[in-house]
Amino acid sequence: MRIFDKLLAVQAKDEAANPITLTPPAQSEPEPLPINEISPQALKTRLDKGDNILVIDMRQGWEYQSGHIPGAKQMFVQDIPRRLNELPQEVDLIFQCWHGYTSLEVSAFVIEQGWPADRVASLSGGMAGWVQVHGPSSLVKD
């Protein structure tokens, strides 16, 4: 056997033992959506001025009833996908949860569903941040 044939035979044997697998090209991650955040101070200023905003309190009903930001609408986080039609697109929406993490995710979801990104924001620090800045007496109880 000629040397060339021997090399090909060895290469064929190696390929059979260790087949080459083609991996598809890596897809790049999509760019993260830029989510606006609003501080508790800025939110209170806008509420006091009477700006056209709607705060969506995503906590459970009993949590909302025990104290919420004045004017906030309660919409439990798990209900938002089926209640999207209740969210106006012509006002600024401020999503609020306990600490501000879930509200970032929900803000991204709502934007992905077609709401204008410049009209959607997350309350930085959530309810905990609001209470830390404005105190528990700033909450309305139902």
CATH number of the domain bearing residue 119 = 3.40.250.10
pTM of the full structure: 0.77
Q: What share of the chain is helix, strand, coil (3-state, %, to 5)?
A: 45, 15, 40
Asked if the structure places residue 24 within a domain, the reply is no
Asked if the structure places residue 105 within a domain, the reply is yes
Question: pLDDT confidence of 4, banded at 50, 70, 90?
Answer: very low
**Per-residue pLDDT tens over the stretch 38-87:** 999 999 999 999 999 999 999 999 999 999 999 999 999 999 999 999 99
The pLDDT of residue 29: 72
Question: pLDDT confidence of 8, banded at 50, 70, 90?
Answer: very low
Which is more confidently placed, 52 or 34? 52
Query: CA-CA-CA-CA torsion for 115, 119, 123, 127, nearest 10 degrees?
Result: -70
Residue 13 has pLDDT above 70, yes or no: no
Asked if the structure places residue 27 within a domain, the reply is no
Bridge partners (DSSP) listed for residue 74 = 57
- Lowest-confidence pick of 5-9, 29-33, 63-67, 106-110: 5-9
Asked if the structure places residue 20 within a domain, the reply is no
Question: pLDDT confidence of 20, banded at 50, 70, 90?
Answer: low
Asked if the structure places residue 47 within a domain, the reply is yes
The number of distinct structural domains making up the chain is 1
Asked if the structure places residue 3 within a domain, the reply is no
Query: CA-CA-CA-CA torsion for 139, 58, 38, 135, nearest 10 degrees?
Result: 20
Residue 129: CB partners within 8 Å, gap ≥ 6? 39, 40, 99, 100, 123
What domain range is 53 assigned to? Answer: 36-138
Asked if the structure places residue 67 within a domain, the reply is yes
Question: pLDDT confidence of 9, banded at 50, 70, 90?
Answer: low
Asked if the structure places residue 88 within a domain, the reply is yes
